[in-house]
Structure 1
């Protein structure tokens, strides 16, 4: 079968999806596919939600598009009010774009411009500090800010050199034997402080991090106290604190904003994926009022704009999704089903010879495959399994085995028909494999049972084929 589409793999034409309802996608060959990852942690309401579809159609009948340089729309105002109020007024403005990468680009540029708008401009601030590994987007600016080795490799010569990286809060591999959480946090804070000193603290615009690391590490939450400690370092040197919640936010971790569980408020927060639940391309940044006031007292102009900024259809989709989450009490289901998903994963895989770690928050969980196992308790709908070759040494599988890819591809076969979001590079950006689960917020116990049972069968077949 030929195709005029440049697909992700030029030698492979994927099956066509022809419909969807709830947690399932219908394929052209008759397969009913259980979307247990919500695509890439996107489809938080599942598919075919009538309330959301109706609000999008109503907006389409009213006005499909106008340029934000000329006009505003009521739906963008309503979305901004809804989201800023959801922060308790801690973040006072919303800037809407179309993708996570665009949101990161806007956040980086806003951070830089903030320092130029101060009464005494700080134009020496040109740098950012992020973490390794991390993933903040695929455009050149966002890719440069991230620390995802495999995604960066082909484009390294094109990437800006103004971002440096420190260690993530990754207890499974980073925390030392008999080291307390407090000591681990203190060590990471010292490392961040040292990086500020190395590059010149007066040169740093912001530190950027994901509250729960998504694709790069697979659902890694921080230990208690980590984010307050990191923000304290930023405040010490007058730098901004940016939280990237594109994957982990908008309810995925059990609260609408992941930072609500961390005891911090960001200066800038990026949001996406679950913001519009896949019903339209939409993302954005939420902005602390201190930044807004500096801009207002300065030029009053954010020197950044895009053609589809604040797109009415995207805003309508996002507002409909967020209202549905609130009105249907879906965050409660995220917490309940997240706890159930965790219990089923632990019961099934905690003693698996090649599962090294089970971790996550809310409905965002991962399984890391190593040849070793370790577990720590979290409750959300965002989980991951990390795989290892040896449960004692935590040795990863050889990258040439392409383990995470094989698991993902096996799950796509009609006899399994379940999405298992596989990613490599867990250990150092090259080695290590994990699988992420991020089912819709409407998921039921029966569907979670199906996910876990099917994954058991998938892993059995893949490991048998690898001969381990």
Structure 2
């Protein structure tokens, strides 16, 4: 009997014992194509010798030094490399152990910034419905997924949530994509005015929405207008790239493709590629200087921030992404994956939308293509698809609640950047087989 507290108490999981490239291997020898990189984590695949070598070498030198007393060489080197490639005026890196910690730190930094600036009345955070920013209390408060929030409602912070930028469902007939993008962005202005402009501290969003909506990219012009509105009202823009960043969409930082830069940016998942738990919050020079020239102390911290072994892993991963020209490969293989999905599933009677950027792709499942009507949640379509794909040796990331946290289903795909064209073919074949089993064979 296991004494591990699992994610689900009534599911018996196989035991992973090995990994090679895009494949995971269980204790019975069965191989699984890691079509979602776990949860968009394993960007370099499994068993990367350079990364494991860097971790081993760091362990031989130094395993741990608390950042209340000392910094470390890998933390300094990783921060330098991140800032060298970061967009806009991002200038400082605050290391954490994962995505929830990164977004939690971002919320607290935004608040402290305004306190240090002499505007303590700015305490309101605006985020979006159908977003996911993590599972700690602050991060969950910022997230806009009704199902994830429901039972913890009495504990959550008072965060405002505006409509997402969700072109497939919300763009009106006859409306151009650009016009829709601007209209969706203007919801931020409306909410700022409703709350009172001098009470708002920040707006938080995922550039490409991941887990809760299935790789939903922004409409053209959306983020440019968001940036303009934030500047107009003097509020901070926090971008959560925990899932979509670090090359996943084809550029190192996802926001590069929208031609903007945030004031605070959160990364994790692909930064450590699964080799170590590591994340980071990046902030602008202006935010850092407000703290440095004020109290001089960010009232925050965790024991393992800036961990030498974790940052050594992150440094090796980032060097691999940049040095092996993997960003170009993500763009190329992303188009291959998208084309393969369109060819095999584009006319499937229960596929409403195939979307995403790079190797971050989502498939929205519908009961009826014409009306976009979702399946009844009681059918548990996402869970059935996950089980059927897993039985075929494919790990993918189906989720329910796509539309409003309760209805709708999607499949998220985020394979390692090293996936070959042949392996993309296997992924699509196995996924199509699972969909035929669960939804009925496509006509």
TM-score range, shorter chain: over 0.9
Counterpart position of 1:331: 327
1:386 to 364, 367, 374: 364
Match of 1:274 among 266, 270, 279: 270
**Structural mapping, 1:124-139, within 5 Å:** 124-139=121-136
Q: Given the alignment, which residue of 361, 381, 389 partners 2:357? A: 361
The aligned counterpart of 1:201 is 197
Question: CA separation in 2, counterparts of 1:177 and 1:109?
Answer: 41
Deviates more, 1:31-40 or 1:177-186: 177-186
Q: Is 1:290 matched with 2:291?
A: no
Task: Tell me the equivalent position of 1:141.
Answer: 138
Q: Verify the 8 A CA contact 2:87 2:256 in the aligned structure 1.
A: no
2:87–2:261 CA contact under 8 A, matched in 1: no
**What's the secondary structure of 2:394's corresponding residue?**
coil
Aligned counterparts, 1:105-116, within 5 A:
105-116=104-115
180, 187, 192: which one aligns with 2:188: 192
Match of 1:122 in 2: 119
CA distance in 2, matches of 1:204, 1:345: 42
Query: 2:309 maps to what in 1?
Result: 313
Runs of 5+ consecutive residues of structure 2 not aligned to the other structure:
none
* Structure 2 partner of 1:6: 5
Q: Secondary structure at the match of 2:17?
A: strand
State the distance in 1 between where 2:44 and 2:178 align. 37
Q: 1:155 aligns with which of 152, 155, 175?
A: 152
Q: Offset of 1:88 from its aligned partner?
A: 5.7
**Residues 1:213 and 2:209 aligned together:** yes
Quote how far apart the aligned CAs of 1:160 are. 1.2
Question: 2:241·2:265 contact (CA, 8 Å) conserved in 1?
Answer: yes
**Structure-1 residue corresponding to 2:66:** 67
Question: What's the CA shift for 1:12?
Answer: 2.1
Deviation at 1:461, TM superposition (A): 0.9
Deviation for aligned residue 1:464:
3.9
Residue number among 179, 197, 200 corresponding to 1:183 in the alignment: 179
User: Separation in 1 of the partners of 2:164 and 2:186?
Assistant: 13
For 2:244 and 2:128, locate their aligned partners in 1 and report how far apart those are by CA, in whole Å. Answer: 16
Give 1:255-274 correspondences, 5 Å limit.
255-274=251-270
- 8 A Cα contact 2:88 2:262, kept in partner: no
Segment drifting more, 324-333 vs 186-195: 186-195
What stretches of structure 1 move > 4 A for 4+ residues in a row? none
Q: Which runs of 5+ in 1 are unaligned?
A: 366-383
Deviations 1:249-272 (CA, angstroms, capped at 9, x unpaired):
000000000111111110000001
After superposition, give the CA deviation of every residue in 1:84-105 in whole Å (9 maximum; x if it has no partner).
Answer: 0011673111000001000011
- Alignment length, in residue pairs? 443
* Residue in structure 2 matched with residue 96 of structure 1 by the alignment: 95
CA-to-aligned-CA distance 1:6-61 (integer Å, 9 cap, x gap):
11111223100001010001111110111011000000000000000000000011
Q: Is the 8 A contact 1:147 1:165 kept in 2?
A: yes
Q: Is the 8 A contact 1:3 1:13 kept in 2?
A: no
TM-score (norm 1): 0.93
Q: Which residue of 1 aligns with 2:434?
A: 458
